[in-house]
Amino acid sequence: MGYTIDLLQVAIGGFALYIGAEWLVKGSAGLARAFGVKPLVIGLTVIAYGTSAPELTVSMAAALDGSSAIVLGNVLGSCVANLCLILGITALISPPVVDGSLIKREVPVLIISAFSVPLVLWNGVITPVESVILLVASVGFTIMTLTSAKSENVPSAQDMETAAEAGGAPPGEGKLRLALITAVGLALLLGAGQLFVHGAQNLAIKLGMSERLVGLTVIAIGTSLPELAASVVAALRGHAGLAVGNVVGSNIFNIFMVLGAVGLVRPIEGDLSVLRLDVGFVIGATLVAAFAMRGSRRITRTEGVLLLVAYVSFIVLAAIGW
């Protein structure tokens, strides 16, 4: 009976996370369209922020329960899932063409974010001061992206509609209704995060799994569902390039915003010797993805397969306790 209740909590919480993120992304993408934002910027900010909301809510819930292992497992596992699983699947469905501006602006920030993880954990804890630095980096990245967008050519109405469509924005909705959809999605995320973490923690204890492994696998995959959904939908609709912006933006926000916000609520503890696989894969996957996104080129299906193989390897190594 106990297992059934825990599984129901994980299943219902995961489904509610997905629905909440869908509403949040749809509403925010619609608002972005209403205010006239470039497609790549929607992927890097609006959709990336929206699809990173589950990681934030689940990590916050885990922190309040005193589980740093789940926080770090969730964030690092989600980053690896974004770069290897989601980008790999997107490349298999519809090899995305990389926007040339990414390699100049956003990819360097992505690399910095990956290397910042071992830096803030060098003494075994992410302190409130380090958390503030991470949050400032998140705000700085957002300002940089929006400022750069203003200096570029104004996107056409068709471009804005394309980006909003990829984000699932409902057609012809007023700003007030879109804001309401966004707010309801956020509220659903907050409640679902608590339910999902509670069920996953109980399962971890009963199955003899470590909280770190649960965070890296069950929770990380669960909270990455919105990124996966948004990227797959974009790829199927012929807008795979948006998926690249979503993945890059989501990883930057996962590290800077999620770890920063959670670290302010409660210091996050983590031993780098225990996290060597997690941190190593985040850095390695980031460098591989950065190479694949070099210049204005198409990420090939072969590269997609290699990314998926890397993700399977990561899960297997984590499961055997490497």
Average pLDDT over residues 210-231: 80
Distance, in Å, from the CA atom of 224 to the CA atom of 15, rounded to the nearest integer, reads 12
In the predicted model, is pLDDT for residue 230 greater than 80?
A: no
- Whole-model pTM: value is 0.80
Q: What is the pLDDT of residues 8-52, one digit of tens each?
A: 888 898 888 778 777 776 776 777 677 666 656 666 666 677 777
CA nearest to 205, candidates 65, 60, 312, 53: 65
Q: How sure is the predictor about 239, in pLDDT bands with cuts at 50, 70 and 90? A: low
Residues recorded for the chain: 322
Average pLDDT over residues 145-160: 62
Kindly report the backbone phi and psi dihedral angles of residue 132, in degrees, each rounded to the nearest multiple of 5, phi listed first: -65, -40
Q: How sure is the predictor about 281, in pLDDT bands with cuts at 50, 70 and 90? A: very high
Q: How sure is the predictor about 131, in pLDDT bands with cuts at 50, 70 and 90? A: very high
In the predicted model, is pLDDT for residue 237 greater than 80?
A: no
What are the percentages of helix, strand and coil residues in the chain, rounded to 5? Answer: 80, 0, 15
Q: How sure is the predictor about 80, in pLDDT bands with cuts at 50, 70 and 90? A: very high
Q: Which has more confidence, 227 or 316?
A: 316
Kindly state the DSSP code that residue 121 receives in the 8-state scheme: T
Q: How sure is the predictor about 78, in pLDDT bands with cuts at 50, 70 and 90? A: very high
Average pLDDT over residues 212-240: 77
Q: What is the pLDDT of residue 151?
A: 60
Q: What is the pLDDT of residue 23?
A: 79
- Match 């916050």 to its residue by tokens: 60
Q: What is the pLDDT of residue 245?
A: 80
In the predicted model, is pLDDT for residue 154 greater than 60?
A: no
Q: What is the pLDDT of residue 132?
A: 96
Residues 191/54, Cβ–Cβ less than 8 Å: no
Q: Which has more confidence, 318 or 30?
A: 318
Kindly report the backbone phi and psi dihedral angles of residue 303, in degrees, each rounded to the nearest multiple of 5, phi listed first: -65, -35
For the chain, what is the mean pLDDT?
82
Q: How sure is the predictor about 118, in pLDDT bands with cuts at 50, 70 and 90? A: very high
C-alpha triplet 116, 119, 123: angle, nearest 5°: 145
Helix (H) or strand (E) holding 166: helix 157-166
Token couple for 245: 């912006």
In the predicted model, is pLDDT for residue 167 greater than 60?
A: no
**Residue 56 to residues 50, 106, 316, Cα–Cα distance (Å):** 10, 21, 26
**What is the DSSP code string of 168-215?**
TPPTT--HHHHHHHHHHHHHHHHHHHHHHHHHHHHHHHHHT--HHHHI
Average pLDDT over residues 204-209: 79
CB atoms within 10 A of CB 97: 13
Average pLDDT over residues 113-122: 96
In the predicted model, is pLDDT for residue 139 greater than 80?
A: yes
Three-state helix/strand/coil letters over 256-320: HHHHHHHHHHCCEECCCCCCHHHHHHHHHHHHHHHHHCCCCCECCHHHHHHHHHHHHHHHHHHHC
Q: How sure is the predictor about 256, in pLDDT bands with cuts at 50, 70 and 90? A: very high
Give the list of residues 6+ apart from residue 216 with CB closer than 8 angstroms, or none. Answer: 73, 74, 76, 77, 278, 315, 318
What percentage of the chain has pLDDT greater than the value 90?
A: 33
Answer whether CATH 1.10.1040.10 is correct for domain 2-319: no
Q: What is the pLDDT of residue 143?
A: 86
In the predicted model, is pLDDT for residue 150 greater than 70?
A: no
Distance, in Å, from the CA atom of 302 to the CA atom of 122, rounded to the nearest integer, reads 36
Q: How sure is the predictor about 164, in pLDDT bands with cuts at 50, 70 and 90? A: low
Amino acid, single-letter form, for residue 242: L
